[in-house]
Amino acid sequence: MGKPEYFNNHLITASPLLASPSADGRFGGTYIMKQLDTQLMHPVEQINIIIGRIYRSGMTTTSGGNISIRDDNGDIWITPSGVDKGNLTTKDIMCVKKNGTIIGPHRPSSEYPFHKAIYESRPDITAIIHAHPPALVAFSIARVVPDTKIVPQAHNIIGEVGFAPYGTPGSEDLGEKIADEFRNKNYKAVIMENHGVVLGGSDMMDAYQRFETLEFCCRTIINGQRLGEVNYLSDQQVSQYVNHIPGNVPHFMNIDYPSDERALRTEMVSIIRRACDQGLMISTYGTVSVRWKDDDFLITPRDVARWDIVPEDIVQIKSGMAETGKAPSRSVALHQRIYQLNPHINSIICTQPVNLMAHAVSGTKFDVRTIPESWIFLQDVPSIPFGLIYNEIEEVAKMFNDNPVILVENDSVFVTGDKLLNTFDYLEVAEFSANSLVMAQTIGPLKPIGDKEIEDLRIAFNVK
């Protein structure tokens, strides 16, 4: 774990990406640990991890962006000014005491005034993120507030979005303009005119998930508009999703995990982290399941940040029952029926990559007949209406007998396969292909290959 560090007389625990197995040796080997536990970590650790995550995800630059936490004492912990965001350590994080005393080796962020102003106007906010991710900046310079009702959970996570008039960066004037927007308690996200975005949260993870989800919405809207007209969900459709939580799921007491199940759990966590690293999944959405034995399977839990899932979080579904004390994904019933009706399917990934979702929110056909290698993997990808995966489980599950990939309008993409790694590969191929199709729109009309060429592919690669 490394030597303990101290900051301002506070013990800072090490936060590696990989940890040794638990004391009982349950999973054996190494596994990916939770990166952020706001109940256990000091503010400097939380800030250091989240700013690193933002930077590595391409949502801020070396010099751009700043984040902060207000602790129970009223002290504000904040990223420093003029220090490389790609190489920050816990020792670089600054503290501005409630009485104004500054502690740390650097100057606090130049945007500290608006952090302070927001905290003073909103006692319910204890964490703030400000950054310049490309899609959100695009909305800020177009002076447009994005409509987040493109996928059902986004609006629920983000809430209403405010818009603050332009102010000189680092000025008290800008701080007051932003704080004035945050005085509307419906807002925890505010677009800054010709600048970027600032978001608040009840804790750092709450703020980060709102930030990541809002940038996802903006990128999806922009790419969807390249393809056609973006379709938004109604309040009733959003409510349908929010209220669709599996009820009366029976539970069983799981005493032990056999070795083959442990291996599957570890593989699932590795694939989920990989999907997050590659922008194929975000904290707030993404479901992975793997058939374990007969029709029993393992599935990701509900309401656990995807970046931070560990093997113990994974939920075993056995004879239609879930492990005691765990809540499986909302789509657990559909996953179960897919496995029951399709013996050739052993893994499922359901997620929301930006370019596939651009097709899903615009109603544009995801035409993989434009790229031979993509068609070989994915075949023709059907698109089904929003809500069908909740209301017509039997019919949707049957579709996977002939279609390894299905796009759900304004919802997600489902990818199936024999092995989890192969399923992830199909997901990568699908998103890379969708990205190419989005970019091609600026060049000229798409020119897919014809039926003869498709038949040649069927024969050459033994495709059904």
**Residues annotated as part of the active site:** 111
**In sequence order, what are the residues at sequence separation of 6 or more whose Cβ sits closer than 8 angstroms to the Cβ of residue 352?**
151, 216, 220, 281, 282, 285, 286, 411, 412, 413
Distance (Å, rounded) from C-alpha 223 to C-alpha 230?
Answer: 9
Distance (Å, rounded) from C-alpha 28 to C-alpha 38?
Answer: 26
Distances (CA, A) of 18 to 15, 44, 270, 277: 9, 19, 11, 15
Torsion (CA) 386, 389, 394, 400 in degrees, nearest 10: 90
Distance (Å, rounded) from C-alpha 405 to C-alpha 414?
Answer: 6
Residues 105 and 91: beta-carbon distance below 8 Å? yes
Residues 85 and 60: beta-carbon distance below 8 Å? yes
How many CA atoms within 13 Å lie on the side-chain side of 429?
Answer: 23
Residues composing the chain? 464
Residues 288 and 311: beta-carbon distance below 8 Å? no
Distance (Å, rounded) from C-alpha 315 to C-alpha 302?
Answer: 9
**In sequence order, what are the residues at sequence separation of 6 or more whose Cβ sits closer than 8 angstroms to the Cβ of residue 247?**
none
Residues 373 and 317: beta-carbon distance below 8 Å? no
Q: What is the DSSP-derived secondary structure letter of residue 33?
A: P
**In sequence order, what are the residues at sequence separation of 6 or more whose Cβ sits closer than 8 angstroms to the Cβ of residue 413?**
350, 351, 352, 353, 356, 357, 360, 405, 406, 407, 427, 430
E strands along 224-268, which residues? 251-252
State CA 327 to chain mean position distance.
19
Residues 45 and 90: beta-carbon distance below 8 Å? yes
Strand 18-19 to 412-417 pairing: unpaired
- Cross-strand bridge partners of residue 94: 78
Residues 360 and 431: beta-carbon distance below 8 Å? no
Residues 46 and 12: beta-carbon distance below 8 Å? no
The token pair at 373 is 């290698």
**In sequence order, what are the residues at sequence separation of 6 or more whose Cβ sits closer than 8 angstroms to the Cβ of residue 256?**
none
